[in-house]
Structure 1
């Protein structure tokens, strides 16, 4: 399983495990089974129980095609729709525990998922899907052509996750927040802040901690009420958890 390095906006590299070809194919197979199940239900209900074929026989060819496309449209847009809703995951990806991410550290957007979907049409319909398989096999990030075009990759979520690797912080019931303006930050901001801080603290990188502290103050307008920048960042993490858990 290859290592995937993502550079955040704070110029800090974070290592993830790229999903293997087997994991990606397993997720695709599960999604395919879901699509097949949907098609079977649609065919049975509309074409067998409701006998819609009797209606189709009475209309022109273009109207008939339009109705058929309408019935099977959810299958066509399955991946781009679910990835947009579930932030990089389809049902198959959720089961296999893999996820689409941007390789620049940002959350992938609808446009990124759309690019991946458009390329999937090409990759899956040329040479029996061999193009996508070859692309993933030779890519050091297990990317297919759609991932390369969209600047995305798929990571595995199967690593053991502890509270230290999330944006969560342990705070007691009596905790009193210090910086209300911390709510200007997003979950993604806090994830990057925490990951950056943990790496800098582990390496004794005081310069990065100072830059991170200044960046937080600039973005939020917060005035640091302590001379210890490490304590300031720890308080920011706790305050964010306090406000988001009590909203």
Structure 2
């Protein structure tokens, strides 16, 4: 399996397993089943006969409504990855997700570039096929199907032959799709999950070193799991001794947890 190694701001190496071609293919199949299911039920349960009777003779308006019905399918990957933090429903089921090549959460711009450039290796050919059919234009469907297949193969071969299993959209957006099944856990590193709106409490934590933070976290996790309150108290007192922090938390667990988050906040911001 291909792996992606990322060095954090704390000089900790984290290795991610890159999603395989098989995982990407199954994700693609699941997502397309969802899309086609939507199209099927949309046309089955919406009263298009009523619409056609109301707009009788106005064929362009009828076709415009057909296209509007297809918009959720067109933007499915984009809004799914934005709302589900790098995952579509297919990716969620296969436990894979999109991340920035440097390990960060992709921006909306990254997701948009990635989605838009599916026109190169996926969607362009699909959209030609779908919209020509929706508009009812005369066309050689054998050629359209051939173009559709060629478009899929472009993306498929890019994923196979690029070093990080990236299609064209990934290459341009600096994103990569990783597997979450054996992803290195944050608990195995000194990293903590903090939100963009997180407000630190103890600026003095910058007096700690990466090694200090690692030891604190390892000791904290073991003591917390064992409900070893004596060790937690000793750890709290040692942190206060080294950093000179005046604790605003009476609970040892809360205090140490905030210290670790603050350390991550300040070191990641530097």
Q: Mark yes or no: TM-score above 0.5.
A: yes
1:39-92 CA-partner distances (Å, limit 9, x unpaired): 0001101256x543333543242x233211211110000000010001100000
Uncovered stretches (5+) of structure 2, i.e. residues with no partner: 126-146, 201-205, 216-238, 245-252, 263-270
For residues 36-75 of structure 1, the aligned pairs below 5 Å read 36-47=36-47, 51-61=50-60, 63-75=61-73
Bigger CA radius of gyration: 2
* 1:198/1:55 CA distance change after superposition, 3 Å: farther
Task: State the number of aligned residues.
Answer: 194
Q: Is the 8 A contact 1:4 1:16 kept in 2?
A: yes
Deviation at 1:146, TM superposition (A): 0.5
Please say which of residues 10-19 and 136-145 is displaced more in the overlay. Answer: 10-19
Partner of 1:153: 176
For residues 126-205 of structure 1, the aligned pairs below 5 Å read 127-159=150-182, 164-165=187-188, 167=192, 183-184=198-199, 197=210, 201=214
Question: Which of 93, 96, 118 is the equivalent residue of 1:95?
Answer: 93
Q: Is the 8 A contact 2:120 2:168 kept in 1?
A: no
SS at match of 1:227: helix
Q: Is the 8 A contact 2:96 2:179 kept in 1?
A: yes
SS at match of 1:141: coil
* 1:20/1:236 CA distance change after superposition, 3 Å: farther
When normalised by structure 1's length, the TM-score is 0.67
C-alpha separation in 2, matches of 1:151 and 1:160: 20
Uncovered stretches (5+) of structure 1, i.e. residues with no partner: 169-181, 186-192, 203-223
C-alpha separation in 2, matches of 1:102 and 1:199: 29
CA RMSD of aligned residues (A): 3.5
Partner of 2:21: 21
1:69-122 CA-partner distances (Å, limit 9, x unpaired): 211110000000010001100000000000000011221111111111111122
Q: Is the 8 A contact 1:9 1:105 kept in 2?
A: no
1:155-174 CA-partner distances (Å, limit 9, x unpaired): 00111776724737xxxxxx
Q: Is the 8 A contact 2:117 2:168 kept in 1?
A: yes
SS at match of 2:106: coil
Partner of 2:117: 119
1:20-52 CA-partner distances (Å, limit 9, x unpaired): 00001111110000001000001101256x543
Q: Is the 8 A contact 2:16 2:183 kept in 1?
A: no
